[in-house]
């Protein structure tokens, strides 16, 4: 360190402390002889200690923890809602979304929850929601499928009905594997209007 800088610092410290404290020359010599000391002092050393103190999970344990945190029921419900809105398209969706979200979809969730309630975690993890709802005036919204067997567990449909003097309604219902998809379980109706509704997916 330059001599004039040292002298300036000594004078400032002496002046600020009224002469009670004067820096010793040993401090300056230590810094001059080992400049790497400056790099090792400060928050860097504390940071490495803090990192070392954190628990070190192996990759197998991390994967296991992540698997335990997966909510398969919530994933099914999110996919079910997404496929429903894909089927509705931009012409039907905005007009029926309020009634669908508040009346029909909670009943869909209930039907799915009842169907999967008896399944263990592994069987639940193998369930998926089918993609590609039917277009035109087809009824299929989505199916819940067991990937291990490739078979449907529950099928959700919506039928377009024309009622005399009233107009068009959407009838939401589902079929279950428990009775070989024969029974028709009603979820509710949403009124469209008297004019012919657009095709699905439009």
pLDDT (tens digit, 9 = 90+) per residue, 32-48? 565 544 444 344 444 44
Residue 45: what pLDDT? Answer: 44
Give the torsion sign (CA, 137, 141, 147, 153): negative
Is 87:158 a contact under the CB 8 Å cutoff? yes
Residue 48: what pLDDT? Answer: 41
Residue 97: what pLDDT? Answer: 96
Pairing relation of β-strands 151-163 and 140-146?
A: antiparallel
| Same domain (yes/no): 76, 1 | no
Residue 20: what pLDDT? Answer: 57
| Same domain (yes/no): 98, 173 | yes
Q: Is residue 199 part of a domain?
A: no
Which band of pLDDT confidence, cut at 50, 70 and 90, is reported for residue 51?
A: very low
Strand order in the sheet with 151-163: 127-129, 140-146, 151-163, 167-176, 185-191
- pLDDT (average), residues 190-199: 96
Could you tell me which residue, 1 or 82, shows the higher pLDDT? 82
| Same domain (yes/no): 136, 74 | yes
Average pLDDT, the chain: 81
Q: State how many domains the chain has.
A: 2
| Same domain (yes/no): 84, 144 | yes
Q: Is residue 158 part of a domain?
A: yes
Is 199:134 a contact under the CB 8 Å cutoff? no
Among the residue ranges 8-17, 22-31, 151-160, the one predicted with the least confidence is: 22-31
| Same domain (yes/no): 89, 167 | yes
Strand, helix or coil at 152? strand
Q: Is residue 56 part of a domain?
A: no
Q: How many Cα atoms within 13 Å fall on the side-chain side of residue 173?
A: 14
Residue 40: what pLDDT? Answer: 40
Domain residues for the domain of 9 are 1-27
Q: Is residue 53 part of a domain?
A: no
Nearest-angstrom CA–CA distance, 134 and 75: 22
| Same domain (yes/no): 74, 22 | no
- Here the tokens at position 120 are 């263990």
| Same domain (yes/no): 77, 22 | no
pTM of the model as a whole? 0.66
Q: Is residue 65 part of a domain?
A: no
Residue 103: what pLDDT? Answer: 96
- pLDDT (average), residues 51-75: 62
Nearest-angstrom CA–CA distance, 43 and 30: 20
Residue 117: what pLDDT? Answer: 85
Could you tell me which residue, 58 or 85, shows the higher pLDDT? 85
Residue 120: what pLDDT? Answer: 81
Q: Is residue 54 part of a domain?
A: no
Q: Is residue 60 part of a domain?
A: no
| Same domain (yes/no): 96, 156 | yes
Q: Is residue 32 part of a domain?
A: no
Is 174:113 a contact under the CB 8 Å cutoff? no
**Which residues are bridge partners to 151 per DSSP?**
146
Among the residue ranges 27-36, 94-103, 143-152, the one predicted with the least confidence is: 27-36
């Amino acid at each position: 360190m330059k001599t004039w800088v040292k002298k300036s610092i000594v004078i400032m410290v002496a002046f600020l402390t009224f002469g009670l404290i004067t820096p010793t020359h040993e401090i300056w010599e230590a810094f001059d002889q080992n400049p790497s000391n400056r790099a090792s002092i400060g928050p860097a050393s504390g940071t490495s200690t803090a990192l070392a103190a954190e628990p070190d999970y192996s990759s197998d344990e991390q994967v296991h923890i992540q698997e335990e945190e997966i909510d398969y029921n919530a994933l099914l419900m999110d996919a079910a809602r997404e496929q429903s809105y894909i089927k509705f398209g931009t012409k039907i969706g905005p007009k029926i979304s309020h009634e669908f979200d508040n009346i029909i979809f909670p009943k869909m969730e209930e039907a799915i929850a009842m169907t999967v309630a008896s399944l263990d975690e592994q069987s639940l993890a193998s369930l998926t929601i089918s993609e590609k709802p039917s277009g035109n005036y087809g009824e299929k919204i989505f199916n819940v499928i067991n990937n291990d067997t490739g078979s449907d567990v529950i099928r959700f449909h919506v039928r377009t009905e024309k009622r005399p003097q009233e107009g068009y309604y959407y009838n939401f219902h589902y079929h279950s594997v428990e009775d070989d998809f024969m029974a028709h379980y009603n979820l509710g109706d949403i009124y469209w209007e008297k004019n012919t509704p657009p095709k699905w997916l439009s």
